[in-house]
Amino acid sequence: MSSIWFNKDVSLVQLSKMSLNTMVSHLGIELTKIGDDTLEGTMPVDERTFQPARLLHGGASCVLAETLGSVAANMVIDTKEKMAVGQHIEATHLRSATKGHVRGVAKMIYMGRSSQTWRIEIFNDENKLICDSKIIMAIVNKK
């Protein structure tokens, strides 16, 4: 299979530098793998991502999903002229996580000229699906 990425030379190190001093770095989200048609990342399940019951906060799962979907969406377009911004996100929380890390995998569902749709599945350390998410990205002109 050939890669879907517009800029095939982008590295995980370059992508990580863009996230310094943002919510992404604050929550400990790390991009871990660029596949031919997927982008993966992890997030710790700890005091930064817990809800009061000491379970992974659903909002933290949405942050991981939006991070992966947004980065991936921008990797398939020419970012000199355009940028991808989140327009709608939905998440179905299937089970909880209480420790370790979660791993998200983003895969494109649809790519048009003005929008993209990505599915992000989030798994616990036992590789069980804990959240199924979908994000719609608007493709807009840079100003």
Rounded to two decimals, the pTM is 0.95
Give the model confidence (pLDDT) of 83-124 as tens digits: 999 999 999 999 999 999 999 999 999 999 999 999 999 999
Question: Is 121 noted as a catalytic residue in this protein?
Answer: no
Residue with tokens 């800029």: 7
What amino acid is encoded at 7 in this protein? Answer: N
Backbone torsions φ then ψ of 31, nearest 5 degrees: -80, 130
CATH of segment(s) 12-141: 3.10.129.10
Give the model confidence (pLDDT) of 24-35 as tens digits: 999 999 999 999
Q: Please, which residues have CB within 8 angstroms of residue 78's CB and are 6 or more apart in sequence?
A: 6
**Domain ranges (residues) in the chain:** 12-141
Among residues 30, 40, 66, 81, the one annotated as catalytic is 66
As a dihedral over the C-alpha atoms of residue 105, residue 3, residue 138, residue 40, rounded to 10 degrees, the angle is 20
Q: Rounded to an integer, what distance in angstroms lies between the CA atom of residue 139 and that of residue 70?
A: 11
Would you state the structure tokens that stand for residue 48, as one six-digit string? 């930064």
